[in-house]
Structure 1
Amino acid sequence: MTTRQHDEGEAPDWRDLATSVRRRGVRQIARDVLSAFDDNRILTYASAVSFQLVFALIPFVLAGVAVLGFLDLAEVWREELGPRLQERVSDAVFQVVDRSVESVLGSQRGFWLTLGAALALWELSGAVRATMGALNDIYDIEDDRSFLRRMGVSFALALVLALLLGLAVLALQLLPRLDFTGLAILAVPVAWLVAVLLMILAIAVIMRFAPAAPQSMGWLGFGTLLVVLGWAIASTGFAAYAARIASYSTIYGSLGVVIMLLTYIYISVLVLLGGAQVDQLVRRYAGDGR
């Protein structure tokens, strides 16, 4: 694989991009996208990253619950999340989940704040390494970093992503509780705005630093915007299913929710890699003007 040259500070040339798009036409652009997806094994990479994320999900959630206990925010589960879940699942299922959460909030909190968090970070770093490989293929970069350097970068990125995601969740839970001096009506929109900005930052960090060659800041906004829009659509669809369609009271309904969750994770990863691939094609179009 050859190494492409990346101009770190190069700004997008939108006129060249518009000219190139007009000359190619919709059909050629569609063929370019499909060819790039096939050549760079986007679907295969999406499956690999999703697999790693599924393994990271449970320890990551339990570590997050332990953080709630450490911050003396156990009422978030007992007064908000727990009652919502209880309305949707059978009593037997809720009792199992509630006992597990209460155990993590109490006696097992130390484990999930230390070794459990390390396990979550290890699993998440595996997903990051798979993403690094995918982005290197997408941007046609030869990764000559040593094994130790790749491991170090993946752990650092996993830690940053975990912190940003954790802050986004805390923003959604804490900001609506604050007294905005008569502006309480703005609390929820502000909380969501902060959470979305943190997620945008997380995506930008991945797209810039996961590839072996850091990507130009001039283009990151475009690629990140594509990913955020696609992720927002996927999240809205999953939330609508979980809130209005899913049945949690039967084993078949619960299995359907699990399948939808796995599908949502896969689509989210596909949106990330697909957005990066479209971003790479747009850079190419803007660069040649043909």
Structure 2
Amino acid sequence: MWRVWRNSGRHNVGLMAGGVAFYAFLSFVPLLGALVMTYGLIADPGVVARHMQMIIDLVPADAAKLIYDQLISLTTTAASKKGLGLLIALAVSIYGASRASGGMMSALNVIYEQEDRRSFIRATLISSALIIGAIMIGIVGVLSASMLGFVGDLVSGIGPLAALVVRATTWLIAALLASFTIGAMYRFAPDRSDARWQWLSVGALLAMFLWFLATIGFGFYAANFAGYDATYGSLSAIVVLMMWLYISAYAILIGALVNAEAERQTAIDTTTGAVRPLGRRGATVADVSEALQDGSHT
């Protein structure tokens, strides 16, 4: 963890998290729009806000209100779009939201010490694919939450224990989906040979755990001590949302740092495909083993 702490300063993780948060903020409305419209292809877009209520409630109150208001506005717009118009609007929203994944791609290249040699078209396609994947996983999460909520209503009469089990199952599914999404980002966003999933899981789980703790902690701080309303007035909701996006990006980048340092500390080939020797793996952190440099073996 000392190496993670040291490299977080060397790579300016705080500054990169701020940049990612800025691009995520610019992509906020397009991303919600893409989620609502994609959901509308298979279900009534008008109920997406209700199905996402449990997730929204986790976000700090001011940011949650802003997200909910945008969702209501977007569901009204999405309901009026049909057929080709819906697909065009969806494509525009995905392209707009790709700025967030593009910012994360740049940050992860820095953490994995990779120079991005991908063309603009390829980078755009990858960032859009990451957004589409995140949207699909988000829809699965929303549908799972809604189905489990329905089950919870059915079993609520059985007793509080049954309701608790359903709620715990809901959060477990959400945590697994979030960890998988973060792991996929670690694997496909940097311009390097893909890492094996087992070398991504620790950082992804840690990032999800840090994000959860930071979200709860920041929500409590913003509600009780920060005084954003007094300082920023009508802009307080935007400030809280920006701060929440910042700590979310920071948690994801710390998870990536943990993975990068784990790869750096072993001589084992951590990339996919046939086993290759050091220096020929197509990934900076996998091509240099500090364990061997220190005279030890992993």
Query: Unpaired runs of 5+ in structure 2?
Result: 267-288
Query: Higher relative CO (CA 8 A, sep ≥ 6), structure 1 or 2?
Result: 1
Aligned match for 2:202, one of 194, 205, 222: 222
> For 1:229-275, what per-residue CA distance to the aligned partner results, in whole angstroms no more than 9, with x for missing partners?
11111222244467778999999565333212110101111111122
SS of structure 1 residue aligned to 2:265: helix
Give the drift of 1:112. 8.3
Aligned match for 2:181, one of 177, 181, 202: 202
Partner of 1:132: 105
Question: Would the alpha carbon gap of residues 188 and 243 (structure 1) be closer, same or farther in structure 2, given more than 3 Å must change?
Answer: farther
SS of structure 2 residue aligned to 1:74: helix
2:17–2:250 contact (8 Å) kept in structure 1:
yes
Letter in 2 for 1:160: G
Give the drift of 1:221. 1.4
1:46–1:266 contact (8 Å) kept in structure 2:
yes
1:200–1:228 contact (8 Å) kept in structure 2:
yes
Partner of 1:74: 46
CA distance in 2, matches of 1:110, 1:251: 46
Aligned CA-pair RMSD? 3.8
Question: Would the alpha carbon gap of residues 139 and 98 (structure 1) be closer, same or farther in structure 2, given more than 3 Å must change?
Answer: closer
CA distance in 2, matches of 1:282, 1:78: 41
Partner of 1:22: none
1:200–1:224 contact (8 Å) kept in structure 2:
yes
* Count of aligned residue pairs for this structure pair: 252
2:141–2:174 contact (8 Å) kept in structure 1:
yes
Partner of 2:290: 288
Partner of 1:49: 20
CA distance in 2, matches of 1:105, 1:195: 25
1:248–1:254 contact (8 Å) kept in structure 2:
no
TM-score, length of structure 1 as denominator length: 0.70
SS of structure 2 residue aligned to 1:232: helix
Partner of 1:36: 7
Partner of 2:168: 189
276-285 vs 160-169, which deviates more? 276-285
Partner of 2:29: 58
User: 2:258 matched to 1:278?
Assistant: yes
User: 2:122 matched to 1:149?
Assistant: yes
CA distance in 2, matches of 1:220, 1:99: 36
Give the drift of 1:153. 1.4
CA distance in 2, matches of 1:285, 1:179: 46
143-152 vs 205-214, which deviates more? 143-152
201-210 vs 115-124, which deviates more? 115-124
Partner of 1:233: 213
41-50 vs 219-228, which deviates more? 41-50
Partner of 2:138: 165
Question: Would the alpha carbon gap of residues 121 and 98 (structure 1) be closer, same or farther in structure 2, given more than 3 Å must change?
Answer: closer
CA distance in 2, matches of 1:102, 1:288: 52
Question: Would the alpha carbon gap of residues 151 and 72 (structure 1) be closer, same or farther in structure 2, given more than 3 Å must change?
Answer: closer
The correspondence of residues 105-116 of structure 1 with structure 2, limited to 5 A, is: 106-108=79-81, 113-116=86-89
> For 1:22-79, what per-residue CA distance to the aligned partner results, in whole angstroms no more than 9, with x for missing partners?
xxxxxxx64x445423433323322222111111212322444445655136356579
Query: Unpaired runs of 5+ in structure 1?
Result: 1-28
Question: Would the alpha carbon gap of residues 161 and 78 (structure 1) be closer, same or farther in structure 2, given more than 3 Å must change?
Answer: closer
TM-score, length of structure 2 as denominator length: 0.68
User: 2:242 matched to 1:262?
Assistant: yes
- How many percent of aligned residue pairs carry the same amino acid? 29
